[in-house]
């Protein structure tokens, strides 16, 4: 199973607010042949690290694809570009859309363009909470730690709430 994390905190003219952007990203994934099998609820999260930028809307999707991991990365980046994401040198900058490969069937890839599992997933409630919605028995492919234990380790260190 491929797990993707999706987030946005800037509106777009074409799609609307941050939640609309996330929904549109799911549709774009389907259009390029990435099957979305399951999706999480949407969450509102404060920027991490803390900043003055708007809150994010975050979610996760369980997917299937015939693409290789690197081709999937390129497809996700193309969707981000189409949806108006402007890449900056600040890796924590606000964005119209962000699609990250969190896990790919437990495969480990470490390279300059792509690292799977996502190197910071265990530090982020905005990835782990949505991931638990769609994969409650998931374990970190490197450490073997359960998602519940990863969430417990973070406690209430980050702001997160369900989007209503």
Q: Which of 20, 31, 66, 95 is catalytic?
A: 95
| Residue 20 is a catalytic residue | no
Q: Which of 19, 39, 74, 85 is catalytic?
A: 85
Burial class (CB in 10 A: 0-12, 13-18, 19+), 162: exposed
Q: 40 with 61: CB under 8 angstroms?
A: yes
Q: What DSSP designation does 12 have?
A: B
| Residue 64 is a catalytic residue | no
Q: 128 with 154: CB under 8 angstroms?
A: yes
| Residue 108 is a catalytic residue | no
Q: Which of 39, 100, 124, 132 is catalytic?
A: 100
| Residue 66 is a catalytic residue | no
Q: Which of 98, 103, 124, 132 is catalytic?
A: 98
Segment holding 160, helix H or strand E: strand 160-162
3-class DSSP assignment, residue 66 = coil
Cite the active site residues: 85, 95, 98, 100
């Amino acid at each position: 199973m491929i797990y993707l994390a999706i987030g946005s905190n800037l509106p777009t003219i074409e799609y609307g607010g941050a939640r609309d952007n996330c929904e549109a990203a799911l549709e774009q994934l389907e259009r390029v042949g990435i099957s979305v099998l399951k999706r999480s609820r949407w969450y509102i999260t404060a920027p991490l690290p803390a900043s003055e930028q708007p809150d994010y809307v975050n979610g996760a999707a369980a997917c299937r694809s015939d693409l290789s991991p690197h081709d999937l990365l390129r497809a996700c980046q193309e969707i981000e570009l189409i949806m108006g994401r402007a890449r900056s040198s600040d890796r924590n900058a606000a964005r119209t859309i962000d699609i990250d490969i969190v896990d790919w069937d437990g495969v480990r890839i470490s390279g300059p363009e792509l690292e799977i599992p996502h190197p910071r997933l265990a530090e982020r409630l905005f990835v782990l909470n949505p991931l638990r919605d769609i994969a409650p028995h998931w374990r970190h492919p490197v450490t073997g730690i359960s998602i519940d234990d990863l969430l417990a380790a973070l406690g209430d260190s980050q702001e997160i709430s369900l989007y209503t």
